[in-house]
Every structure is written in C-alpha cells, then in structure tokens.
Amino acid sequence: MLLKYLILGCTASAILAAAPAKVFPYSYSQQDLPNGLRLVVVPNDSSNIVATYIIVQTGSRNEVEPGHTGFAHLFEHLMFKGTEAWPEARYTDALQRMGAISNAYTTDDYTCFYTVLSREDLPAVLAMEADRFQHLKFSEADFKTETLAVLGEYNKDASSPYSRLEETAGTTAFVRSPYQHPTMGFLKDVEDMPNQYAYSLKFFDRYYRPEYTTILVVGNVKPRDVRELVDKSWGQWKRGVFVPEIPQEPPQEGPRVARVDWPSPTLPIVEVAYKAPAYTDSAKDTAALEALAYLAFSPTSDLYQNLVVTGRTAASLSADAPQEHDPSLFEIVARVNHAGDTDAVRDQIYAAVRSFQDKPVSAARLDAVKAHLRNALSLRMQSSDAIASVLARYIALRRTPETLNLLYQQLATLTPKDIQHAATQYFTENHRTTVTLRQAATQTAAAGVAQ
C-alpha cells in the first residue's frame, strides 16, 4: 500500500487530508448499567451476523501475588466448565445447533470471550453468557483436570524458542511489574495450580465482576433492544469491592543483557527491548512509537532491506510497539541466519536506533507511513467480527471505542521532530534489555557448527 502511494506520485498529505476525521467510521452507543457493567453497541447492517465480545479487564497484569501467576489464562479455560442451568455439554450443544463460533483469549491486560452468531440467536446467547459469568461452577476434580490441560499447553508453547526468548526478556527487563511473567504464568506456578482450588474461587470472585466487564455487540441490531436484553440477564449481577494494587516498576538505571542456550538446533534470535510508556491517547507517545516501529523495522525500512533482503544476514526482522495499561516493552526481534553474525545484527539494530535519534525522518516518509497505518486499520474492519476484534483491545484499555479515534488523531499530528523525540527519550541505553538465544554450545559442537 505504501509503495503504491509513492509510485503513483500521490502525496500522503493529500490522502490524510481527504480521509474522514475519525478512523473509526461507525456510530455506536455506550451505556453503563447501575452495577458498573458497560455496554457498547455498534450497529452494522451489512449482514445478519452479530459479534458479541465480552471483555474482562483482567489479564496477567492482575496477577500480583507471588506464586499465583497464570490464573487469568486459567479462567479463560474454566469459564467453559458450565453452570447448574447450562452444564458444559448443554452449553456447547446449544452453540453448535446455532452454528455459532465461540472462543476466548487472554492477554497481559484483559481476557476476552467472543461469540459470532446469527442475529436471531442473540437473546439466547446473552442469557447463556450472563449465566456463566454470574454462576460459574466447577468441582475441585474439574479444576485439577483443567490445570493439567493448561500445563500441557504451557509445555507445548515452551517448545518454541520465541516463547523462551519472550519470557527471558520479561524477567530480565522487569523486577516488579507483573509484565515480568508471561501470560500463561511461570512454570513453577502452573505446576502448582492443581493445589490452588481455593485461590481460584477467590480470583473469580475478585475479577469477574461487572465493573471490570464490557459487553461489545457489533451487528445488525438496535442499541435499545440490546440494552433491554442486557438489563434482563445482567442487571442483577453484583458489583465487587476488590481493587488490585499493581506494583510499579522502578526506573531502569543501566543496560541489561541475558542469553538463552537452546537445547536443540535452531537459528539464533536477537531481541532488543526498550522500556516504553503506558498507553495514552492524550499525548503523542503511543502513536509516535507505533509509527517508529514501522519506519525503522518494517519491510520498507532501510534496516530490513540491509539485513533481510540484500545482506541476508537475518531471516526475519520485526518490531512491536506496545499498547499496554502500564509501562512495558518496545520489542525488536531478528532471527539470524548464521551464528557468527549474531553480534553484528545486534549492533546494526543499535545503529538503526541511533540514526532515528540523530536525524529526523523525512516529512514525506512519515506522512506515507501515517497514511499506511490508518488505511491498514480501516481495511481490517470489514465485518462485524473484524470490527469487534479491533475494538476489543482498546475497550480493554479505556472501555470506549472513542480512544481509537483519539489515538489516530495523535498519529495524524506527528511530525519528524516527534519521532526523533520519541527515539531519543525511550530508546536509551539505560532503558535497554538485550536477549540473545543461541543453540547450546554442546549441541552446536555435536553438529559441527562453529559458534
């Protein structure tokens, strides 16, 4: 898309000027029930399909007690165990008969349960969901069985070197923040989960409450009708009293380095991570780092071209600009083709960062990237489910779709000096954590590969 604009000679400034004022083009209603539950409805008459996303502002960030990591992800599983009115088998059978798609996922900041269904089934689904959120029931035996399934998922995930790299980056970069541990939890805590039935009941009682929950409904529906359904099934849900104390990370005062020795053959991986600020839609920081990730590390960047395309010293290069509730990490990851080039690839990442600190990016390049990011987001929202999927993260952060518009207004106002300022402020040596994953020396020697 970006190259197309440049080739056709169409200035990105003109594209931005012609674009609608708001990146989220749909009207929506936003209402709060007396118990603190929020309802967001986005009418969309493009089809008969309705997406219902239930977003709970509880992720691994909320796991603040030592020895109890991984419980947000565990409840992603346990929430499907059923209730007295809707046992697991009956619940699953009802969704299958509807032809509905239902699943869930967990992140650092939230857990999301979604169902994609036909419009005529919305009353039944909202009632079923209300029942399991208010009356979830699982025996200790069911709990232990599910914890073993989670341990199996952890072990499967741990077979990827990227998972080990990410966990090491978290434990190296953070000393207090809950972002230190992976979403699935620390292994020792997951292994001990079968003994934590009583704690699981406490966790559910604390966080599965209306004040932490937003119901998002997107599709060919009327907000008034949806509100009546929600009042009927969810209105009696009682507000909780628990407010977590999230540990604040102290300032990092020097670069940190870690190495992972991988036990089997693999290409080396380098991660360079910088402490980044919490999500904001009222200042330029989040938008600037999002643009910087694309400017410096996307396939159109000079570094990508040098490492992956022409130099072929790296098999891949990517960067992830965070949008998290608390300060987290801006992560740059490169997979290196030859072990002997690992340090050189790391140093080229450092040099690329310095280049954005030393010299402002061209205004034309920045405008093209801003246009690309805006258009890429718009192209993602082509169905009820896709709209809900995009909104879920932002609703978890601010409980309103409007934050998406505010964020992209910040993006639209970015200047080359803003990009330079963000690189200078956040990509400092004192804020940096570098993790290298390599094949273990004994394995490499056995394979006859030089380190």
Residues 6 or more apart in contact with residue 95 via CB below 8 angstroms = 102, 115, 125
Q: In the chain, count H helices and then E strands.
A: 18, 11
Residues 155 and 221 both lie in one domain: yes
Residues 327 and 420 both lie in one domain: yes
Residue 3 lies in a domain: no
The DSSP secondary-structure symbol of 307 reads I
Residue 3 CB burial class (10 angstroms; 0-12, 13-18, ≥19): exposed
Residue 94 lies in a domain: yes
Q: Residue 154 in 3-state DSSP?
A: helix
Separation of alpha carbons 201 and 207, rounded Å: 10
Phi-psi map region of 82: left, alpha, beta (phi>0 left; psi -120 to 50 alpha): left
Residue 425 lies in a domain: yes
Q: What percent of the chain has a predicted confidence (pLDDT) above 90?
A: 92
Residue 92 lies in a domain: yes
Residues 6 or more apart in contact with residue 88 via CB below 8 angstroms = 80, 81, 82
Please say which residue of 170, 204, 234 terminates a domain: 234
Residue 246 lies in a domain: no
Residues 215 and 280 both lie in one domain: no
Residues 219 and 269 both lie in one domain: no
Residue 147 CB burial class (10 angstroms; 0-12, 13-18, ≥19): buried
Q: Can you say whether the dihedral through the CA atoms of 227, 232, 233, 239 is positive or negative?
A: positive
Could you report the per-residue pLDDT of 233-260, keeping only the tens digit for each? 999 999 999 999 999 999 999 999 999 9
Domain count, the chain: 2
Q: Quote the strand ranges of 34-100, DSSP E.
A: 38-43, 49-56
Q: Looking at residue 269, which CATH number applies to its domain?
A: 3.30.830.10
Residues 77 and 210 both lie in one domain: yes
* Alpha-helix residue ranges (DSSP H) falling in 84-121: 88-98
Separation of alpha carbons 68 and 176, rounded Å: 15
Q: Which amino acid is at 71?
A: F
Residue 299 lies in a domain: yes
Separation of alpha carbons 214 and 75, rounded Å: 17
Please say which residue of 179, 200, 234 terminates a domain: 234
Rg (CA), the chain: 23
Residues 196 and 324 both lie in one domain: no
Residues 318 and 276 both lie in one domain: yes
Separation of alpha carbons 394 and 27, rounded Å: 16
Question: In Å, what is the CA distance from 29 to each residue of 218, 283, 378?
Answer: 11, 25, 20
Residues 294 and 190 both lie in one domain: no
Q: Residue 272 in 3-state DSSP?
A: strand
Separation of alpha carbons 367 and 216, rounded Å: 33
Residues 225 and 268 both lie in one domain: no
Of residues 208, 314, 200, the one with CA closest to residue 267: 314
Please say which residue of 208, 234, 260 terminates a domain: 234
Residue 24 lies in a domain: no
| Residue 311 belongs to domain spanning | 252-447
Residues 187 and 53 both lie in one domain: yes
Residues 178 and 36 both lie in one domain: yes
Residue 8 lies in a domain: no
Residues 263 and 389 both lie in one domain: yes
Q: What is the pLDDT of residue 128?
A: 98
Q: Are 220 and 50 in contact (CB under 8 A)?
A: yes
Tokens of 41: 């409805």
Residue ranges in the chain whose pLDDT is less than 50: 1-19, 444-451
Q: What is the pLDDT of residue 442?
A: 56
Tokens of 360: 């402002």
Separation of alpha carbons 83 and 90, rounded Å: 10
* pTM, full prediction: 0.92
